[in-house]
Structure 1
Amino acid sequence: MAGYFAIFLVLLTIASGLIWLLDARLFAPKRREQVEQAVAAAGGKLPPETIERIAKEPWLAETARSIFPIIAIITVLRSFLFEPFQIPSGSMMPTLLVGDFILVQKFAYDVKDPVFRKTLYRNNTPSHGDIAVFKYPENPRLDYIKRIIGLPGDRVIYRDKQFFIQRACTEAHQGQCPGLEQVRYSFTAEGEFTQQGLPQRRYTEQFGDKQYDILLTAALPEQKGQYFRQAGTAIDEWLVPEGHYFAVGDNRDNSRDSRFFGFIEEDLMVGKAVFIWMSFEFSDNPDRVLPRWIPVGIRFERLGRIR
């Protein structure tokens, strides 16, 4: 089931469209007929203000006629093309920051209806390295955003803060199944970001043909005791089932992701994050007079495509 706002938009579109249609087909002709009768009764001479009063649309019909085209366009765009999201946490730093406003391409994956989220059209499926928005498996009312690491059939290992992937063996491999692949990264910088007062290290990770930055907090241990346990595998190893995906945050030590809640069903996929259209900067100064939700600046340098 979709979120409350999506359902509200659909209901508003249907209601305003029905009201507009009902008035146009049933009540508007009656108003025109009343005007003609009044003009005839007045001998063909009737003041314009009187005609306007008789022909005037009811407030509800006028409002429905005005908002229906706009609401309908918004509903179609938001449901099938692009949907805006705001980044609320630091789990995808440094790729996405708190205050980033992004566009999610809905048709990048399967196209779903906006209310019951049933697949209407089979399109593409997520790829390794995509930044995907999906419904949180433990509470589908919430939207989560993470990077896709494992596809159906992949074997995923996270050990010593390092991912290893054995890609799914398919008929295209002709018996030569892929081996275990280390997702390599190289050190970039340290001290730009912190977690719990601890400095974080920034690395550039290379996964197939995709390159992006991640954060690691060297002083924090892996939380293996909280990992999602899959029967028949090691505590830090997962085999992605068919029709499911494995996704993690770029801020590896500050992200609740598939390592903790498990796999993501393909029906929960919302779309692919493709563009930052606005980025607000907020202040953490405790002595600040204005509320913390009021931005102190705009990060224009962050606007553009997401990688």
Structure 2
Amino acid sequence: MGFDFELILAIAFFVTGAFWFYDRIVYLPKRKAVLADMAPEAKQAISKEAQQRLAETPRLVVEVKSYFMIIAIIFGLRSFVVEPFQIPSGSMLPTLKIGDFILVNKFDYGLRLPVLNTTIIPTTEPKRGDVVVFKYPRDPSLNYIKRLVGLPGDTISYHNKTLKVNGKLVETDLLAELSSSLNVNREPVRVLHENLGGVDHEIYNSFRHNPLEGDWVVPKGSYFVMGDNRDNSSDSRVWGFVPEANMKGRAFYVWLHWDELFSIPSFKYNGLIK
């Protein structure tokens, strides 16, 4: 199983919240009573820490509840507004590089309950060409990022490195050819311009044969996704469709690039994700 930070953050929110609520019900009245019996000059001089001691508030309660507000803010922002992710692989090259830190819009596809990912307030629906983050269908504790190619009811065909959606060819234009020394794939690739659903972006195609070919009909309530690094991506061609319930949001911005732990972070790739 993967490291489910969202679940851990949710647990931290509820645990610290329980301590904060318990303190408000049990010990806050005691602190107010202590202060009520004190002279005005003494009230101004006494610190919050001293108030806790005078009211005999347990140290555990004091420590745990102190983290509640900051955890609540982080939990709320990550769950309902924007969530940061780091790109761990090259499956979305050249659009996203290994080490890119990205931001994901969490309300684009509906306001969802944290952890459960159940939609409570619908907004807009995913669109063809979006770069989407979703829970990996075979292990929901893992987050994946790919480009949305097929909507519910679409017929997707991929043969000889040629993509068709509902029988219509997705046109590409050759931009460049890179040698193996110029890309992380360690093999020569073609850089192509592709327009998918009105979204202009670049993709990689290698010169070798790719066995990941076939024809698919996207079922209702599901999506078909592919990596922009078409010959080096494990995607819907391998493990199938992405259920709507697994969608987390739309990736929209690269805010930092950091190759390795001991390298220098860079902002030169900052910008909107196409």
Q: Calculate the TM-score normalised by the size of structure 2.
A: 0.88
The reply on whether 1:186 has 2:173 as its aligned counterpart is: yes
With over 3 angstroms needed to count, the CA separation of the structure-2 counterparts of 1:194 and 1:20, relative to structure 1, is: closer
Query: Does the 8 Å contact 1:201/1:217 carry over to 2?
Result: yes
Cα displacement (A) at 1:11: 2.1
- Stretches of structure 1 that go unaligned for 5 or more consecutive residues are 167-179, 228-235, 283-293
Partner of 1:223: 211
AA partner of residue 128 (structure 1): R
1:276 to 249, 254, 257: 254
- Stretches of structure 2 that go unaligned for 5 or more consecutive residues are none
Greater Cα radius of gyration, structure 1 or 2: 1
Cα displacement (A) at 1:182: 0.9
- Partners of 1:58 and 1:73 in 2: CA distance: 25
Q: What is the root-mean-square deviation in Å for CA atoms of aligned residues?
A: 2.6
With over 3 angstroms needed to count, the CA separation of the structure-2 counterparts of 1:105 and 1:26, relative to structure 1, is: same
**Within 5 Å, which residues of 2 pair with 1:31-46?**
31-34=31-34
Partner of 2:157: 157
Cα displacement (A) at 1:137: 1.1
- Partners of 2:197 and 2:127 in 1: CA distance: 10
- Partners of 1:250 and 1:63 in 2: CA distance: 47
**Within 5 Å, which residues of 2 pair with 1:1-307?**
4-34=4-34, 53-55=53-55, 57-166=57-166, 180-191=167-178, 192-193=182-183, 195=185, 197-218=186-207, 220-224=208-212, 236-282=214-260, 294-307=261-274
- Partners of 2:11 and 2:184 in 1: CA distance: 44
Q: Calculate the TM-score normalised by the size of structure 1.
A: 0.79
Query: Does the 8 Å contact 1:35/1:54 carry over to 2?
Result: no
Query: Does the 8 Å contact 2:4/2:142 carry over to 1?
Result: no
- Partners of 1:3 and 1:266 in 2: CA distance: 22
- Between stretches 182-191 and 115-124, larger displacement belongs to 115-124
- Partners of 1:295 and 1:132 in 2: CA distance: 29
AA partner of residue 193 (structure 1): N
- Partners of 1:49 and 1:208 in 2: CA distance: 64
With over 3 angstroms needed to count, the CA separation of the structure-2 counterparts of 1:25 and 1:151, relative to structure 1, is: same
Query: Does the 8 Å contact 2:255/2:267 carry over to 1?
Result: no
Query: Does the 8 Å contact 2:156/2:163 carry over to 1?
Result: yes
SS at match of 2:62: helix
Cα displacement (A) at 1:34: 4.8
- Partners of 1:11 and 1:22 in 2: CA distance: 16
Cα displacement (A) at 1:30: 2.2
* Structure 1 residue ranges, 4+ long, deviating more than 4 angstroms after superposition: 34-37, 48-53
With over 3 angstroms needed to count, the CA separation of the structure-2 counterparts of 1:12 and 1:181, relative to structure 1, is: same
AA partner of residue 21 (structure 2): L
Count of residues in Structure 1 that have an aligned counterpart in Structure 2? 265
